[in-house]
């Protein structure tokens, strides 16, 4: 088994070395308008268009870093004796599907990895199933291409998320198995499910931002609870670590505010993208600063806002406003389509959606060159020649799923800044 060298995340913007993604498949379309809300979608995506857009993200990432596909990682893990039985057993126990356990275990590894993601159709072999409106014994993982949420790399360890929705729990079970058993990783994981004081704990990766090795940002709202953050505190206390943890309360509505990275992302050493009404303007949402030293919480207090708190810690960040500064309606529209959700591949070089034109215009004012992803993939443009740039991917369809470039990526290794 590999040493714990494949996982190392100590910042949000260090040069990307390796990342896990999941190219969406049939699971994205295996829903109807009736069950879309249960699948956490407000609409049904067109897979063909979504795949064409996703290929741009995939192509850019493959040009700059080692890119792992989760389906391939899963196929390799279920080919490992012991890991297959453990994973299938955990999934069947969690989803009350013990009756299909033997069926799953008998599948070839490629087929098993497929059905664990795309679902298992219900065989209508008794009256209860015949009368059931359900279509699946094992539901498809409609949201799995939003790889950010199910696990978070913190330094050289991995936090396994406790998802807020039952329909996403299998994602975390799969990722824990990959990080524990795949020979590329084999790292220590921390999982709230195994914490005795589990009551009320949920925490998702979209709410967790590693700002610096000693500074962690965490959003709390519909997906991450205060108890989820308390779990993190307990882990840091047990590890005798020293940290500044900045907590940002998020609105519960609309649904575009589900995670911190939908209103705030880091772009460069001195630049960040913010959704102004939540992060900068006076409101009732608290920003809380928790200081841990050598495993003890020594202080908890309120800050004016997230940017002020970060700059007190020496960041010197200048905000770039999602949607621009001219019109609050434009800010709302572009935030809804992940206008604040950027993924850094190195300091000052980020990936975002081309559709958010006012946000891109604001970035241009701050010294970011706007580059088409297609030009990078074709070799017509080299990002090495730019100090700051935005690689713009098409996202008319993908954005309708409720996430952006950061949501769709799980970085596992970055160079130190």
Query: How far is Cα 147 from Cα 404, in angstroms, rounded to an integer?
Result: 11
Helix 70-77 to helix 169-181 angle (10° resolution) is 60
- What would the pLDDT profile of 269-279 be if each residue is shown by its tens digit? 999 999 999 99
- Mind listing the pLDDT tens digit for each residue in 124-168? 888 887 778 778 999 999 999 999 999 999 999 999 999 999 999
Please write the tens of the pLDDT for every residue from 222-269: 999 999 999 999 999 988 989 999 999 999 888 789 999 999 999 999
Half-sphere exposure of 383 (CA within 13 A, CB side): 28
d(CA 390, CA 361): 11
How far apart CA 54 and CA 237 sit, in angstroms, is 40
**Torsion angle defined by CA atoms of residues 297, 299, 304 and 310, in that order, rounded to the nearest 10 degrees:** -60
Separation of CA 102 from chain center? 32
Residue among 344, 401, 393 at smallest CA distance from 145: 401
Q: CB neighbours (10 Å) of residue 72?
A: 13
- Kindly report the pTM of this predicted structure: 0.94
What integer pLDDT is reported at residue 5 of this predicted model? 55
Pairing of strands 369-372, 157-160: unpaired
Q: What is the pLDDT of residue 124?
A: 80
For residue 357, pLDDT beyond 70: yes
CA nearest to 288, candidates 233, 365, 361: 233
Amino acid 371: pLDDT: 97
What percentage of the chain has pLDDT greater than the value 90?
Answer: 82
Q: What is the pLDDT of residue 195?
A: 79
* DSSP string across 321-357: ETT-SS-HHHHHHHHHTTTT--EEEETTEEEEETT-H
254 upstream amide cis, omega within 30 of 0? yes
Mean pLDDT value of segment 311-324: 98
Separation CA 415–CA 376 (nearest Å): 22
Q: What is the largest CA-CA distance in the chain?
A: 65
For 16-414, which CATH class? Answer: alpha beta
The answer on pLDDT for 401 being more than 60 is yes
């Amino acid at each position: 088994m590999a040493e714990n060298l494949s996982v190392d995340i100590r910042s949000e913007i260090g040069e990307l070395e390796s990342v896990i993604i999941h190219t969406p498949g049939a699971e994205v379309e295996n829903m109807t308008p009736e069950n879309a809300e249960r699948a956490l979608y407000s609409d049904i995506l067109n897979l063909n268009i979504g795949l064409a857009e996703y290929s741009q993200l995939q192509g850019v990432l493959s040009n700059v870093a080692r890119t792992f596909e989760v389906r391939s990682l899963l196929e390799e893990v279920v080919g490992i004796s012991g890991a297959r039985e453990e994973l299938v057993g955990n999934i069947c126990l969690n989803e009350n599907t013990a009756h299909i356990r033997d069926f799953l275990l008998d599948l070839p590894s490629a087929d098993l990895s497929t059905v664990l993601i795309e679902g298992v159709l219900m065989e209508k072999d008794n009256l209860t199933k015949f009368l059931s409106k359900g279509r699946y014994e094992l539901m498809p993982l409609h949201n799995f291409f939003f790889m950010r949420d199910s696990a978070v790399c913190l330094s050289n360890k991995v936090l396994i998320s406790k998802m807020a929705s039952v329909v996403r729990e299998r994602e975390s079970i799969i990722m824990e198995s990959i990080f524990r058993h795949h020979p590329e990783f084999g790292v220590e994981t921390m999982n709230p499910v195994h914490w005795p004081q589990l009551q009320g704990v949920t925490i998702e990766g979209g709410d967790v931002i590693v700002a610096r090795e000693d500074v962690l940002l965490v959003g709390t709202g519909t997906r991450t609870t205060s108890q989820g953050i308390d779990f993190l505190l307990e882990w840091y206390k047990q590890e005798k670590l020293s940290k500044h943890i900045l907590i940002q309360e998020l609105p519960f509505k609309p649904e575009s505010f589900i995670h911190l990275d939908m209103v705030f992302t880091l772009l460069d050493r001195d630049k960040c993208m913010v959704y102004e009404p939540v992060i900068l303007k006076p409101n009732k949402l608290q920003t809380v600063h928790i200081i841990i030293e050598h495993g003890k919480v020594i202080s908890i207090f309120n800050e004016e806002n997230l940017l002020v708190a970060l700059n007190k810690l020496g960041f010197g960040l200048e905000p770039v406003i999602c949607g621009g500064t001219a019109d609050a309606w434009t800010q709302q529209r572009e935030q809804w389509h992940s206008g604040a959700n950027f993924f850094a591949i190195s300091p000052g070089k980020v990936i975002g959606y081309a559709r958010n034109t006012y946000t891109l215009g604001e970035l241009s004012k701050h010294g970011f060159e706007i580059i088409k992803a297609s030009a990078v993939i074709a070799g017509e443009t080299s990002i090495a020649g730019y100090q700051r740039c935005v690689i713009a991917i098409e996202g008319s369809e993908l954005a309708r799923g409720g996430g952006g470039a950061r949501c769709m990526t799980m970085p596992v290794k970055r160079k130190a800044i």
